[in-house]
Amino acid sequence: MTDAALPPTAFAFLQTRQSHPAKLFKGPVPDRAALLEILTAATRVPDHGKLEPWRLIVLDRAAMARTADLAQAHALAIGADSEKAAKGRGQFDIGQLAVVVISSPKSTDKVPLTEQILSAGALCMNIVTAALAKGWGANWLSGWPSHDPAFIAQAFACTPGETVAGIVHIGTVATPMPDRPRPDLSKLITWA
């Protein structure tokens, strides 16, 4: 494909796109129709024969508050220190809208587990990219609650074998952020 075949703004957008810290987001957030548009575009990921090895949970402000309370209660139940409890709670306290991407691999001999898990990761990145392309701020987070099997079972009804690939916060960027240093590709690429 030649450069002429690409819309001129698409590549420029990819060259400059950046996530924004979720703790700096303010309202408004996308309404249901706008979020469905973002998610429709984002689900155009490799899904290996329409397996769709993931599912999505949309957390609005009220659900974020309930999840924050649950994270704090769980942290205390497992004997976490106050810093860990605050950090687990904090990511849900800060947001008004988030999409939880659950990696939900299907049992099949045709598609390796790793590829199914990577599909969920690709979906997280696509949600961030689609939200940014529509003018929203977006940030892909995880944190200890995302990796605690008991918490995700209670908070997101995860079954054994399911994991949280990411929690994508979406909102209005309150303060533009300077770009961060980017990788030095000369140190990371081997030309074979």
Q: Check whether 176 has a pLDDT greater than 80.
A: no
7 inside domain:
no
9 inside domain:
no
pLDDT at 4: 62
- Residue span of the structural domain in which 160 resides: 21-174
148 inside domain:
yes
50 inside domain:
yes
Q: Which residue has the higher pLDDT, 100 or 1?
A: 100
Give the pLDDT confidence of 37-87 residue by residue, as tens digits.
999 999 999 876 788 999 999 999 999 999 999 999 999 999 999 999 999
Task: For residue 143, give the CATH number of its domain.
Answer: 3.40.109.10
16 inside domain:
no
Determine the number of helices (DSSP H) and then strands (DSSP E) in the chain.
6, 5
If one counts the domains in the chain, the total is 1
Give the pLDDT confidence of 96-114 residue by residue, as tens digits.
999 999 999 998 888 898 9
pLDDT at 180: 78
Residue ranges of the binding site for FMN = 17-19, 44, 48, 140-142
Q: Which residue has the higher pLDDT, 7 or 160?
A: 160
pTM of the predicted model, to two decimals?
A: 0.90
